[in-house]
Structure 1
Amino acid sequence: MRADAARNVDAVLRTGARLLAEDPAAGMGAIAAEAGVDRRTVYRRFPSREALLAAVFQAKLDSAQRVLDEARLVEAPVAVALHRYVEGIVPVSRDWPVDVRRMMRADPAASVRREEQSGRLDRFVQRAADEGLLRADVPVAWARATLDHLVDTAAHGFPLIDPPQAADLVVDILLNGVGRR
């Protein structure tokens, strides 16, 4: 694929992710206009909204996969891996804001990939608990849900906070809490 064509596809995917997150009924024409490309360009690559949405889901999953791999959730010390993960996943969440639940309902292949990625995070949080970094009286599933909510809050509730600072906050809050000891 030529460089300009690749840029156009990337612009369509990112714009599609943003607009479809804001309005699931957003049309291909609006996405094309916002991406700065001709509507025919969009339809040449993505014959339908569903095809575009499936490509957005795959792009989000590909990005998340890279973050999970680079975080080294199994090899690195928990706090280091957690920081790497959050610092990487916050921009992914911002760049690809489509709802994961919608993705899992609409695309069975994406659902399988997402479940595998989620399983990696589950095992990582269990590792943190096994190493004594999480309170023993807090269920591991609760800690995992808390991690997901903290990441979502950092990514979307505070969009001006940069990813390293968001990672500092999320790691500190997850491992130490917000209350005074």
Structure 2
Amino acid sequence: MRADAARNLAVVLRAGARLLADDPSTPLSAIASAAGVDRTTVHRRFANREALLSAVFEAKLDSSERVLDEARLTAAPVAVALHRYVEGIIPVSREWPVDTRRMMRDDPAATRRAGEQSARLDAFVQRAADEGLLRDDVPPAWARAVLDRLVSTIAHDFPDLPAPKAADLVVDTFLRGLG
């Protein structure tokens, strides 16, 4: 793919993620306008809004997978891996704000990938519990749900907070609140 085509695709995907998160019925022409590209550029690449949304989900999953890999959830000390994960996933959540629950309804391949990523996080939270970093009376599923909400809240409700500082707050809240 040519450099300008790759750049246009990235801009369209990011604009699509932002606009479709706010309004899932946003037309492709509005996404093209927000991306600063011609409508035919978007239509040439994506047959319809669902195809664009699928590409946005793939980009979000790719970014999430990189974060999971770089966090070293199974090898690094739990607190270190947790901070790496949170610091990395906050920008992903901000860049790709689309609702993954919609992805889970519409795209079986994305659903499988998201499930695999979720299983990695479940295993990590279980590891934190097994290593005594979480209270014994806290079910790991609850801890995982709390972690997800903390990340979502700080990513979307506090968008001006830099990811490192936001990660500090999430990790401290998570480990002190459930630890």
User: Which TM-score band (shorter chain)?
Assistant: over 0.9
TM-score normalized with structure 1 length = 0.97
Q: Deviations over 1:98-141 (max 9, x none)?
A: 00100110111100000000000000000000000000011111
Q: Which residue of 2 aligns with 1:168?
A: 168
Output aligned runs, 1:139-150, within 5 Å.
139-150=139-150
**Post-superposition, which runs of at least 4 consecutive aligned residues in structure 1 deviate over 3 A?**
none
Q: Which residue type is aligned with residue 7 of structure 1?
A: R
State the match for 2:40 in structure 1.
Answer: 40
Query: In 2, Cα distance between the equivalents of 1:33 and 1:9?
Result: 13
What is the one-letter code of the residue matched to 1:33? S
| Superposition deviation, residue 49 in structure 1 | 0.7
Output the CA distance in 1 between the equivalents of 2:137 and 2:68. 27
Q: Within the alignment, does 1:55 sit opposite 2:30 as a pair?
A: no
1:8 maps to which residue?
Answer: 8
**What secondary structure sits across from 2:76 in the alignment?**
coil
Q: Show CA shifts across 1:11-62 (max 9, x none).
A: 0000000000000100000000000000000011111111101000000000
- 1:124 aligned residue: 124
Distance 1:34 1:14 in 2: 10
Q: Which residue of 2 aligns with 1:134?
A: 134
Task: Give the 5 Å matches for 1:81-92.
Answer: 81-92=81-92
Alignment RMSD: 0.8
The offset of 1:2, in angstroms, is 1.0
1:99 aligns with 2:99: yes
Structure 1 counterpart of 2:108 = 108
**What's the CA shift for 1:177?**
1.8
Matched, 1:79 2:85: no
Number of residues of Structure 1 aligned to a counterpart in Structure 2: 178
CA distance in 2, matches of 1:106, 1:10: 22
- The code of the aligned residue for 1:94 comes to R
Consecutive unaligned residues of structure 2, counting only runs of 5 or more, are none
Identity %: 73
Amino acid paired to 1:6: A
The one-letter code sitting in structure 2 at the alignment partner of 1:127 is R
